[in-house]
Amino acid sequence: MPRPRKELVSIADTPYYHIVSRCVRRTFLCGFDEETQVSYEHRREWIETRIRLLTSVFAVDVCAYAVMSNHYHIVLKLEPKQADEWTDDDVLERWQVLYRGTLLVQRYARGEPLNCIEYQQVTDTLAIYRDRLKDLSWFMKSLNEPIARQANKEDGCTGHFWEARFKSQALRSNAALLSCMAYVDLNPVRASMAQSPEESEYTSIKERVAPTDDKELRNRSEDFTVPVKPLAKFAGSLRKDEEAVIPCRFEEYLELIDWTGRRIRGDKRGAIPVHLAPILNRLGMRRDQWLRNSTQFELIGNMDTAPKQPRLASG
């Protein structure tokens, strides 16, 4: 039986998680359906935009993502301390990007006078909203439900769009984090949807190489009012007062992605760069371990070294 989400997500163990959500029956509801000859490719942009905007609302940092034809991947870091630093008005602004809130909260937002008891109720409600803006399940609810409603409206139907539960994998080491990011960024290459990572549509690697203009991203959602948060930052790209979310330099990660992508594709046989080995040494991984992890991550789970028998990750 599936384990309760609270047993799968624990900030005390790790803030990093790999999330997968699939369309019901794994049908091509976000791609080109060969059977019906109908294209739903535009829905991939819906999902990518929603991921980017929700990152700015919730206390999370997105390390990697890839929106495929019938599922998507996200690698994220939960950042509850971000929400703890928000004022009540910050919490209210973020919450009302997504939901209207209670009638009393709406009155408070309009600046209407409240008595002491009403004001305390608003304060208590905002504390609940603050906790929700730290919560992975609420992040996924706010991502999947609007996409499902929008797609069903477009199709003129009702019913499930996504499978009942999203899958989550805890990433408990730097090696697991980077292996999973590579696995996600290379998904379109492995699926023959792109010739190279930087050409793959609706992926974090393309967004990092050719960033979307913030104004364009905001224009995709009329209700979006908070500042757009960039993708999680690599070491070496920070101010002195910032902490790296991803424990390597972006240049090193690109080299890993490029080499791994060439090894995956039979028509692109490339030599290993001489300066590739040091980062693998720091991760405590052999090259064959890295290649296995970054191409079979969902099968081998969070292991830094491959298990003797591949197993399906729980969650």
Establish if 209 belongs to a structural domain: yes
- pTM score, whole prediction: 0.83
DSSP per-residue letters across the chain? -PPPHHHH--TTT-SEEEEEEEBGGG--TTSEETTTTEE-THHHHHHHHHHHHHHHHTTEEEEEEEE-SSEEEEEEEE-HHHHHTS-HHHHHHHHHHH----HHHHHHHTT----HHHHHHHHHHHHHHHHHTT-HHHHHHHHHHHHHHHHHHHHT--S-SB-SS-EEEE--SHHHHHHHHHHHHTHHHHTTS-SSGGG-TTBHHHHHHSPPPHHHHHHT-TT--SPPPPPPPBTTSS-TT---SBSS-HHHHHHHHHHHHHHH-TT---PPPTTSHHHHHHHT--HHHHHHHHHSHHHHTT-SS--SS--PPP-
- 276 and 223 belong to one structural domain: yes
Number of structural domains in the chain? 2
- 187 and 230 belong to one structural domain: yes
Query: pLDDT tens per residue, the chain (315 residues)?
Result: 455 555 567 777 899 999 999 999 778 888 887 777 889 999 999 999 999 999 999 999 999 999 999 999 999 999 999 999 999 999 999 999 999 999 999 999 999 999 999 999 999 999 999 999 999 999 999 999 999 999 999 989 988 999 878 999 999 999 899 999 999 998 998 888 888 888 889 999 999 888 887 777 777 766 677 888 889 999 876 555 567 689 888 888 888 888 887 777 655 545 445 555 566 666 677 777 777 777 777 766 544 433 333 333 333
CATH code at position 46: 3.30.70.1290
Establish if 196 belongs to a structural domain: yes
- Structural domain boundaries enclosing 150: 19-81+134-300
